[in-house]
């Protein structure tokens, strides 16, 4: 590869990393519009295990809205924290790439008063659509999880960063 080709590949990989990080920030900030915008316009292949399989990003965006935006007495009842690490991204052709990520995830369920910790692996496919990298495929495989009760002595305060 020429220096210019290598630089172009590095720029594309950085753009894909930014896309995936934007997706995770949208999850944690409860921002369904940005969440949806991370996927191709139609026909995405999404498999999030127990959360479900979807043939279009509109379907997962609706599930996201239902779960993430659920409130009781004006407060969100599901609080998430996503940390992506170990990106392994390969440019597979013009406007196409694949990627693998490790997820560290923490969720508070204020209705059930539980904390869930889990880790797993994303296997993604990316394409350029309308000049921007988008996810065309996103499959998640959970490696392990743990659920524990939140005791009565636990106080949870929601900051202003949640929409």
Cβ neighbours for 121, distance < 8 A, ≥ 6 positions apart: 100, 101, 102, 103, 140, 141, 143
List strand residue ranges (DSSP E) for 19-95, in order. Answer: 45-47, 53-54, 71-72, 75-76, 78-93
Angle at Cα 51 formed by Cα 47 and Cα 56, nearest 5°? 45
pLDDT of 163 above 80: no
Q: What architecture (CATH level 2) is domain 3-149?
A: Roll (3.10)
The tens digit of pLDDT for each residue in 65-104 reads 999 999 999 999 999 999 999 999 999 999 999 999 999 9
The tens digit of pLDDT for each residue in 108-122 reads 999 999 999 999 999
The model's pTM is 0.94
Q: HSE (CB half, 13 Å, CA atoms) of 156? A: 18
- Alpha helices for 43-137 (secondary structure H): 57-68
């Amino acid at each position: 590869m020429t220096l210019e080709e290598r630089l172009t590949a590095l720029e594309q990989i950085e753009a894909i990393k930014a896309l995936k990080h934007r997706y995770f920030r949208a999850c944690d900030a409860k921002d369904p519009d940005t969440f949806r915008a991370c996927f191709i316009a139609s026909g995405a292949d999404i498999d999030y295990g127990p959360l479900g399989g979807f043939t279009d990003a509109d379907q997962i965006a609706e599930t996201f809205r239902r779960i993430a935006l659920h409130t009781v007495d004006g407060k969100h009842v599901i609080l998430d924290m996503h940390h992506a690490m170990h990106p392994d991204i390969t440019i597979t052709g013009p406007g196409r790439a694949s990627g693998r990520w490790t997820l560290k995830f923490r969720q508070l369920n204020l209705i059930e008063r539980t904390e869930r910790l889990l880790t797993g692996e994303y296997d993604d496919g990316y394409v350029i659509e309308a000049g921007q990298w988008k996810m065309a495929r996103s499959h998640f495989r959970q490696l392990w999880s743990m659920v524990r009760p939140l005791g009565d002595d636990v106080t949870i305060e929601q900051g202003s960063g949640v929409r």
